[in-house]
Amino acid sequence: MTDAPHATPLADQAEYAQAVQVAVDAAAAYYGSGDSALDDDAYDRLVRGIEAYEAAHPEHALPGSPAGKVAGGAVVGDVPHTVPMLSLDNVFSAEDLAGWVAGLERRLGRPVEAWSVEPKLDGLAVSARYQGGRLAQLVTRGDGVAGEDVSHAIGTVVGLPERLPEPVTVEIRGEVLMTSAQFEAANVARTSFDGVPFANPRSAAAGTLRAKDRKYRCEMTFFGYGALPLPFEDGSPLAVRLRELPHSQIMELVVGLGVQTTGATPVGVIAVATVDEVRARVEEIAGLRAELPFGIDGIVIKADLAADQELAGFSSRAPRWAIAYKLPAVEKITKLVEVEWNVGRTGIIAPRAVLEPVRLDGSVVTYATLHNPADITRRGLMLGDHVTVYKAGDVIPRVEAPVVHLRTGDERAVVFPQVCPRCGGDIDTSQQRWRCVRGRACHAVASVSYAVGRDQLDIEGLGETRIVQLVDAGLIVDFADLFTLTREQILALDRMGETSTDNLLAAIERAKGKPLNKVFCALGVRGTGRSMSRRIARHFASMDAIRAADIDGLQAVEGIGPEKAAMLVEELAELAPLIDKLVVAGVTMTEPGATGPGTGAADEAEADADPAVSLPLTGMAVVVTGSMSGPLEALSRNQMNELIERAGGKASSSISARTALLVAGEKAGSKKDKAAALGVRIATPEEFAAMVHDFI
């Protein structure tokens, strides 16, 4: 978790007035089209700066200020809400949360008996009014008092049925959003008509919900987070239940009516009894954020009991019994300065965005991933564009789309390369990912350097300088040629004496005996790395079996889907000459201990016994943190991951509710605290070594 963000400082009345105008304009764009010149984090900081200035200079407060207003006071609708549709106040740290809880319990005069905790979805708040079981009206939040009628969208939102199984009259409130898959489909549809992609999933959902006469259809999803009776049904049995039931049970009631709620998300709605459980639940949801199929920007914490909610009441813009625990921003707006074209070790020509530096989720981002030339075209990116940038899986920064309405006319088209940026050769543009026609030979030094690295063949004495010498001398074109080098050829190289030559030849000879997973990893197959190479080698046991596998056979390996399997088949066919050279050179092509297809009749009985059943870590996700000690002291992190997978487990780098075990060494840090909060089993390096001693 992060500390509470600072407010934007405002030095004087002129800066304050300008900040009010910027915030109002940004809110109008955000709650209108969904596009804003400010991202959420920048807007929140600006509004907090306005609030701080007004607290210090109340005589300067402008009537149009967004402070203390739902939607920043920017949106006015024409359909009155039956009950004000308020925003939530925010906290940004565990300390803030503890202070809010203490304040609520002081107001109640007693501890809160039960809490509900659920994700805060990043979409558009709406109320769905059912009359006699039929969805009669759909209304946006607007300014909280009245919203916009978007009933034309009825029938286009997954999770919001047009009819309920019972003829009840009720208002269900929730969030309309686009999942990652829906957003991609929406951008394909939109760009095929007008060539301009949506900036982000939220703007896509906001624009789609309001659009009446589009020539294309975009699917959206609804998740309910509340229900209340309509005024003319105030005395009905359902109305009584909605006033008396805890929030968590109301959500179960809504599910029973056939409406999707946040309980249907991978993290669900959970009722807990203590503040410690609330904190653990917050950590759990935050840890799963990157794996969710839609965006969340926080976690909502509510007093679960109706009596607590009634006693706590409301402020002018928010309920006092609920709070939003905001998570660090994973999306920001910055400027696309340039596009660089880099050639990878397999010959792939990959574009990379050069950005105006921006702080994103705790780090400064200057570069971001762009998939391929077709992706640049599809997203309509131009140099000088303001673009939304997000962290994919909370790790890799990627450019999403341009913020088109911020264009000034000075933007320039992205220039695609006409020849390979590295060797000047021809480019194969037949597929979306462009590639130098020379393939790996274009970047032989990088390809060989990768293959001989510590986590692959681990050939000591072969640094990049030596590899450049070998390539320039025409002695190697790929790493298989290393195994045919003679003593005389190496001695002829600059600064190579007899001892260093003999040492290098010995290291190359040792590399022949590396297990299949190391050899496969050294091939640098697209879409694989160390972990995937280990899984493939362990599943098939021999290179012959891997090469014989078709798309269906490869999908039997955990983590390989249809698209990756097809790519692997294609890549292995392309690598056939290199693999054949390795076989001729006598490089090991089997995985010790593996009993997959192709291991021979002698191993059939052992294979039939399914050896995974006896492995100590079978089915367990294991995370390692801190410094190892005892029998594991000399192992690198990658070697620890290999050990975990040899023992049947799955190595992971982050703690979540799915983690089965944390191996915590000295200076374990926050991962150990998080594991303890989630109830994850924690073992010392010595305890873990005892568990897997047969595999060390």
The candidate with the shortest Cα–Cα distance to 210, out of 157, 135, 134, is 157
Is there a contact between 456 and 507 (Cβ–Cβ < 8 Å)?
no
Q: At what angle do helices 275-288 and 670-678 cross, to 10 degrees?
A: 120
CA distance 246 to 273: 13
The candidate with the shortest Cα–Cα distance to 85, out of 320, 324, 317, 325, is 317
Amino acid at the residue 208: T
Burial of 250 (0-12, 13-18, 19+ CB in 10 A): buried
Name the active-site residue from 120, 518, 671, 674.
120
Report CA 372 to chain centroid distance, whole Å: 20
User: Phi/psi class of residue 586: alpha, beta or left (left: φ > 0; alpha: ψ in -120 to 50)?
Assistant: left
Q: What are phi and psi of 421, to 5 degrees?
A: -65, -15
Burial of 560 (0-12, 13-18, 19+ CB in 10 A): buried
Total Cβ atoms within 10 A of residue 145: 14
Is there a contact between 28 and 43 (Cβ–Cβ < 8 Å)?
no
Is there a contact between 139 and 83 (Cβ–Cβ < 8 Å)?
no
Written as six digits, the tokens of 403 are: 């913020």
Is 335 annotated as catalytic?
Answer: no
The candidate with the shortest Cα–Cα distance to 666, out of 633, 618, 636, 631, is 633
> Looking at the annotation, which residues are catalytic?
120
